[in-house]
Homo-oligomer: A and B are copies of this chain.
Amino acid sequence: MVITLRAGTGQAEIDRIRERAESLGLRTFLTRGESRTIIACVGLVEPAHQELVGGLPGVESVVRISKPWRLAGRAASAGSTIVRAGDGPGAQFGGRELAVVAGPCSVEGMAMLRETALAVRAAGAGMLRGGAFKPRTSPWAFCGLGIEALEFLAEVRRETGLPVVTEVMDTRQVDLVAGHADVLQVGARNMQNFALLQELGRIQRPVLLKRGLAASVSELLLAAEHVLAHGNRDVILCERGIRTFETATRNTLDVAAVPVLKAETHLPVIVDPSHAGGRAELVAPLAFAAVAAGADGLIIEVHPRPAEALSDGEQSLAPDGFAELMARLRPFAEAAGRTLARPAAREAA
């Protein structure tokens, strides 16, 4: 932690700042420059320390040098964490094999869910996605089938062997959703819903944590840290586009976040090209880019008939479009040193 002092800060203020830092267990080193004086603080710097000195008279700025995440950081793990979803062969995140999750934005009914599951499994997906509770910007939009959708997901899982992921939005529903799904998703709008993150830290189901629309990479790691700190070590991070001034795409896929995250954390990192681009024709190029940049997996919206989708129809692939994407993805995966399950192998499993 480096404290820069305002010009003209007196000795009494400097002494007080050093005392405060030392009372926090840090050692302090003063360096006087021509125009500025700085105090370097070393020791086990806690995130809270920064603001405990930041308000003292004479302090111009406080910059942390060490990273504020402990459990999510690479130093906290011997190697990369592999998160397993369900008991099936294909749903591993963080290993050499690329994880591919596919399915509809919303579970609109049993028939369409089963149809989608069979199609994406045939194309090589290892896991099924489908929204039961949908966060909607407007209260007047379709908000999901709720509990009924959870039951459809559990049933299709039994039939197809595909583990399922669905979003949880309310601390009161964590146990309910965990009773039906293999992975619980935290949506972008809830990335800093700390009550929900804590509740998810208390269960033993993997959490798929989506990056918030305006969340920095640091904040995404700290959100994961909330889950880890409460006891759940299975967190999958998901880059899904951030909000910028550009309106040609729904969001701006921050593809550089993939290598940046992989360098910082032992947790698996996947990408959602459907929400990032917001248009069906962008899903394939963004998926390829994500894998080329080092992503551990993809989560893709597939609907049997996108034109009839109750939500996100513009960005959903039809089954044949998804199958084509999977076929074209293979050489990119291999170029990235990854394997991709053979569709046949998957169905036999």
Binding-face segment, A79-87, A110-118, A136-144, A158-166: A136-144
Binding-face segment, A94-102, A122-130, A275-283, A341-349: A275-283
Cα separation A248 to B263 with both chains bound (whole Å): 12
Q: Assess A138 versus B225: contact at CB under 8 Å? Given A170-B171, A256-B253.
A: yes
* A54 contacts the other chain (CB 8 A): yes
A289 contact set on B, CB distance < 8 A: 255, 289-290, 292-293
* A48 contacts the other chain (CB 8 A): yes
Max count, chain B CB within 10 A of own CB: residue among A29, A173, A248:
A248
* A145 contacts the other chain (CB 8 A): no
CB nearest neighbor in B for A314: B54
Inter-subunit contact B55/A316 (CB<8 Å): yes
How many A residues touch the partner, as a band?
35 or more
A193 contact set on B, CB distance < 8 A: 169, 189-190, 193, 196
Select one of B214, B331, B332 contacting A213, CB under 8 A.
Answer: B214
Copy count, this protein chain = 4
Inter-subunit contact B313/A54 (CB<8 Å): yes
Inter-subunit contact A137/B219 (CB<8 Å): yes
Q: Assess A247 versus B216: contact at CB under 8 Å? Given A259-B281, A282-B260.
A: yes
CB nearest neighbor in B for A217: B248
* A294 contacts the other chain (CB 8 A): yes
Inter-subunit contact A309/B48 (CB<8 Å): no
A255 contact set on B, CB distance < 8 A: 253, 255, 286, 289
* A88 contacts the other chain (CB 8 A): no
A327 to chain B minimum Cβ distance, whole angstroms, is: 11
Inter-subunit contact B313/A51 (CB<8 Å): yes
Select one of B31, B140, B243 contacting A214, CB under 8 A.
Answer: B243
Cα separation A242 to B252 with both chains bound (whole Å): 10
Inter-subunit contact A68/B307 (CB<8 Å): no
A68 contact set on B, CB distance < 8 A: 138, 140
Q: Assess A142 versus B38: contact at CB under 8 Å? Given A33-B66, A137-B192, A214-B243.
A: no
Cα separation A158 to B217 with both chains bound (whole Å): 44
A43 contact set on B, CB distance < 8 A: 33-34
CB nearest neighbor in B for A133: B195
A35 contact set on B, CB distance < 8 A: 66
Cα separation A254 to B2 with both chains bound (whole Å): 29
* A310 contacts the other chain (CB 8 A): yes
Cα separation A315 to B335 with both chains bound (whole Å): 24
Contact with B along A228-260 (1 / 0, CB 8 A): 011000000000001111111100111111111
* A44 contacts the other chain (CB 8 A): yes
Inter-subunit contact A40/B42 (CB<8 Å): no
The 5 lowest CB-CB distance pairs between A and B, nearest first, are: A55-B313, A214-B214, A33-B42, A331-B335, A170-B195
What are 21 A-B contacts defined by CB distance under 8 Å?
A33-B65, A34-B44, A47-B138, A47-B141, A51-B312, A54-B313, A55-B314, A68-B140, A173-B195, A193-B193, A193-B196, A217-B248, A243-B245, A247-B247, A253-B256, A256-B276, A260-B282, A263-B281, A288-B292, A288-B336, A289-B293
- 14 new A-B pairs (CB below 8 Å) besides A244-B244, A331-B335? A2-B2, A47-B137, A48-B141, A52-B310, A68-B138, A136-B194, A245-B245, A246-B257, A248-B257, A256-B285, A285-B292, A285-B294, A288-B293, A331-B334
